[in-house]
Amino acid sequence: MKNIIACIDGSSMSTTVCDASIWAAKHLDIPLKILHVLDKSEYPVTSELSGSIGLGSREQLLEDLTALDEQRSKLALKHGKYLLADMMERANQQGLPNVIKQQRHGDFVESLLDIEAETRLLVIGKSGEAHQNQTTAIGSQLESVIRSIKAHTLVAIKPFNEPTSFMIAFDGSDISLKLIDKAIKTPLLNGLTCHLVMVKDENDRTESFHVAAKKLRAANIDVLEKIIEGDIHSALVHYQTHNDIGLIVMGAYGHSRVRQFFLGSNTTEMLTKSQVPLLLIR
Amino acid sequence: MLDTVKKDWFFNVKGDLLAGLVVALALIPEAIAFSIIAGLDPKVGLYASFSMAVIIAFTGGRPGMISAATGAMALLMVTLVKDHGLEYLLAATVLTGVIQIAAGYLKLGSLMRFVSRSVVTGFVNALAILIFMAQLPELTNVTWHVYAMTVAGLGIIYLFPYLPVIGKLLPSPLVCIVSLTIVSILLGLDIKTVGDMGQLPDTLPIFLWPDVPLNLNTLMIIFPYSLGLAAVGLLESLMTATIVDDLTDTESDKNRECKGQGLANIGAGLMGGMAGCAMIGQSIINIKSGGRSRLSCLSAGVFLLVMVVFLGDWLKQIPMAALVAVMIMVSIGTFSWDSLRNLKKHPLSSNIVMVVTVAVVVASHNLAIGVFVGVLLAALFFANKISRFMVVKSADNTASASRHYKVIGQIFFASSEQFLKSFDFKEVLDHVTIDLSSAHFWDITSVSALDKVVIKFRREGATVELIGMNEATNTIVDKFGIHDKPEEVEKLMAGH
């Protein structure tokens, strides 16, 4: 059975992730699994610059480093257990009794890849412990997670409110038509109003725009069509705030890293600018 | 791709740069000392350490490990340098790299599993003893000043870290070198300095093809050396990689490390440097100083070159006694003192393997030979132990003059004789049954031993019946290669 995987850490984003995943779990009616990864590479490295090695230096160093890691891991483990218990309690209060807790050692992205087969929807915060006080910053692992994991991903952004409508940015390409198909298939979006939005540029793509709207209507989804003007990302975010839309649906990292290096990435741009959660459909 | 770059290089920038600086400071005296061991100008070792460290930072399979000119390698090249000169050494270094790359592609890194713990300990201890012994020429037939300087140097190295605050900030080997140099200049002591040992670098290294005739004769001269250098280099590098793996609780790519060492040696040879490999002592210093990523090794190489080129005039003034003190520290730090304490705890066979490895290396000055003997000895001890896992039970039936033998355990070259002796051929029997279903036959020696048993009984006039022959012969694993199927292995081992 596939699960919703909610990734939490010690940051304040975790409650947001938890709320978003509870909403998704209720909508999809599948079990929620809360995951806390103990990533050792996040520990700071200690150093002693004396540069000398004496009798039994190697054994001593191994003992010291092991003892240090042990202490940190025990603390992190305990901390993680409390976090998981907190989140579980929160889910229970909101009427979700069956929540699975899981703690794993290792690299965060690798841990997610290990359980990818049982992942239906991944819920992750926009940023974690390292950037929790910067509102615009996106987490250092977010892009690698999105690029590596091929499951739908819900990126939670503070604060989480249950969405009543969602927005799909449409650009007339084949990829965005496919995105529409996939969005129709996702039960998570059932009952939500769809704002199909296109940012106008020199090409005329109204025809495929109407095709897309028709598709959505055929699937019994309320559709509002809108063509707007301006800089793509700002215009989209502006439209979203203006119409109080609670969720943005988009594809993720359609292009190579090389292209991204030169041209920038729509996904990264939207992740940075958006004030509401994003659902990345794969 | 960008993630790997970050993961390998930039997750710990401050720690890595600081550690790189500490390592560079510790590398300079070692590189000079190892060049002198090999009978070369100090610049050969310094160029080698720079090129190795920089190249391995990109190509190696173990982030956080330091590679440079090493004592183990320097000891192997002494005769080549003496008989044929520097250019042949450079050619041998390039060839060493080629052999190591080939080893990497042939995945010989995995052969390390045949090198037991005791052999590794023996290697490390022998290396420490060799480095120490290489310092002795500097300490014989010299004035009392040299002894005083060396003792003072060791005192600084070991006591300086205990000073509050400053002790943990400045590398004590550096403090030792600087203060001894100042003392010797101020007192105008007439003792040997680094400048007396040969040329120091005054320019950046340049890319040069070794000036040797490219013919079979050259190859015949350098190949034996290159083979030894490649073997020792890989052994020490892979052992060091395991040590760093343990210390940092992370994994390394051993075969990539083999190829990386090869590329680094080719680079070193073409830059006018001697062959090198990973350094146990320096890698420990690096980890201790907070270095974890590839950046620390790269920065160590770059810092080293910058310091050497700009401080060349000062390097000349360093008294050899200060270097000797640093090298004694390195050899003490490299020696596994735990292994002495463990002598009582470990089984005698492990101790013999360790001690023999050390003895052979110290006698032959070749770590490769020592490891080879150690591995061989360990394998023999192992074969001997396994051969004891064999019993032949028997039950007789006097009424019908027959006997039932049941063979349990491992039958191979080492246990075949014991197997033969377990049968009583003098007994007068009509019928002999040999139950082989719980026996494991590992090689043709054991099969021919079985044939012999059957023939002997037949000659005494008994009829012989073998039971479970199929199960027993299926265990000649060579033929079937079932080692990768867990269920087959279980079936095979069920005989115990």
CATH of the domain at B458: 3.30.750.24
**Cβ-contact B370, B391 below 8 angstroms:** no
With an 8 Å Cβ cutoff, are A53 and B172 in contact? no
Would you say how long chain A is, in residues?
282
**Cβ-contact B269, B94 below 8 angstroms:** yes
* Residues of chain A with C-beta less than 8 angstroms from the C-beta of B168: 48-50
**Cβ-contact A267, A279 below 8 angstroms:** no
The β-bridge partners of A196 are A168, A225
Could you tell me which chain A residue has the CA closest to the CA of B249? A66
Q: Are residues B463 and B329 in the same domain?
A: no
Rounded to the nearest angstrom, the minimum Cα separation between B241 and chain A is 13
Phi and psi torsions of B9, nearest 5°: -115, -45
pLDDT in tens, A157-180: 888 888 889 998 887 777 788 888
Q: Which of B398, B359, B96 is nearest to B236 (CA)?
A: B96
Contacts of B188 (CB under 8 A, 6+ apart): none
Q: Are residues B333 and B408 in the same domain?
A: no
Distance CA B52, CA A156 (A): 47
> Is B353 a domain residue?
no
| CA gyration radius, chain B | 29
Helix axes B280-288, B13-38, angle to 10 degrees: 160
With an 8 Å Cβ cutoff, are B18 and A47 in contact? yes
Out of A51, A65, A109, the one facing B22 most closely (by C-beta) is A51
Distance CA B65, CA B56 (A): 9
- Check whether B91 has a pLDDT greater than 90: yes
Cβ–Cβ contact A68 with B under 8 A? no
> Is A245 a domain residue?
yes
The β-bridge partners of A105 are A38
**Cβ-contact A243, A126 below 8 angstroms:** no
Model confidence band, residue B106 (pLDDT cutoffs 50, 70, 90): very high
Contacts of A233 (CB under 8 A, 6+ apart): A266, A269, A270, A273
Q: Are residues A138 and A185 in the same domain?
A: no
Rounded to the nearest angstrom, the minimum Cα separation between B208 and chain A is 34
The pTM for the full model equals 0.80
> Is B143 a domain residue?
yes
Model confidence band, residue B302 (pLDDT cutoffs 50, 70, 90): very high
> Is B376 a domain residue?
no
| Portion of chain B with pLDDT greater than 90, in percent | 42
Model confidence band, residue B59 (pLDDT cutoffs 50, 70, 90): very high
Domain holding B433, by residue range, is 388-493
Domain boundary among A106, A129, A156: A156
Could you tell me which chain A residue has the CA closest to the CA of B156? A52
Q: What is the pLDDT of residue A256?
A: 61
Q: Which amino acid is at A123?
A: V
> Is B358 a domain residue?
no
With an 8 Å Cβ cutoff, are A45 and B15 in contact? yes
Out of A46, A48, A56, the one facing B338 most closely (by C-beta) is A56
Q: What is the mean pLDDT of residues B451-477?
A: 79
> Is B269 a domain residue?
yes
With an 8 Å Cβ cutoff, are A52 and B161 in contact? yes
Phi and psi torsions of A169, nearest 5°: -85, 125
With an 8 Å Cβ cutoff, are A47 and B330 in contact? no
Rounded to the nearest angstrom, the minimum Cα separation between A69 and chain B is 9
Domain holding A121, by residue range, is 3-42+75-156
CATH code for the domain of A188? 3.40.50.620
Domain boundary among B308, B338, B368: B338
Domain boundary among B318, B338, B358: B338
Domain boundary among A156, A181, A211: A156
> Is A195 a domain residue?
yes
Distance CA B56, CA A93 (A): 56
Among A42, A46, A55, A58, the residue to mutate for chain B (most B Cβ within 10 A)? A58
- Check whether B482 has a pLDDT greater than 50: no
Cβ–Cβ contact A97 with B under 8 A? no
Distance CA A52, CA B174 (A): 10
Model confidence band, residue A262 (pLDDT cutoffs 50, 70, 90): low
With an 8 Å Cβ cutoff, are B173 and A51 in contact? yes
Can you read off the two tokens belonging to residue B367? 């770590």
Number of domains observed in the structure of chain B: 2
Per-position b or e across B98-109, b if 16+ CB within 10 A of its CB = bbbbebbeeebb
Higher per-residue pLDDT: A281 or B473: A281
> Is B436 a domain residue?
yes
Can you read off the two tokens belonging to residue A261? 């290096």
Between chain A and chain B, the number of residue pairs with CB atoms below 8 A apart is: 103
Q: Are residues A12 and A146 in the same domain?
A: yes
Residue B345 DSSP SS3:
coil
> Is B382 a domain residue?
no
pLDDT in tens, B245-280: 988 888 889 999 999 999 999 999 999 999 999 998
ipTM above 0.85, yes or no: no
> Is B348 a domain residue?
no
**Cβ-contact B358, B121 below 8 angstroms:** no
Q: What is the pLDDT of residue A264?
A: 59
Model confidence band, residue B476 (pLDDT cutoffs 50, 70, 90): low
Q: What is the pLDDT of residue B480?
A: 47
- Check whether B68 has a pLDDT greater than 90: yes
> Is A54 a domain residue?
no
> Is A52 a domain residue?
no
Domain boundary among A133, A156, A179: A156
Q: Are residues B293 and B207 in the same domain?
A: yes
Q: Which of A141, A107, A113 is nearest to A127 (CA)?
A: A141
Residue A226 DSSP SS3:
strand
Can you read off the two tokens belonging to residue A177? 């038509």
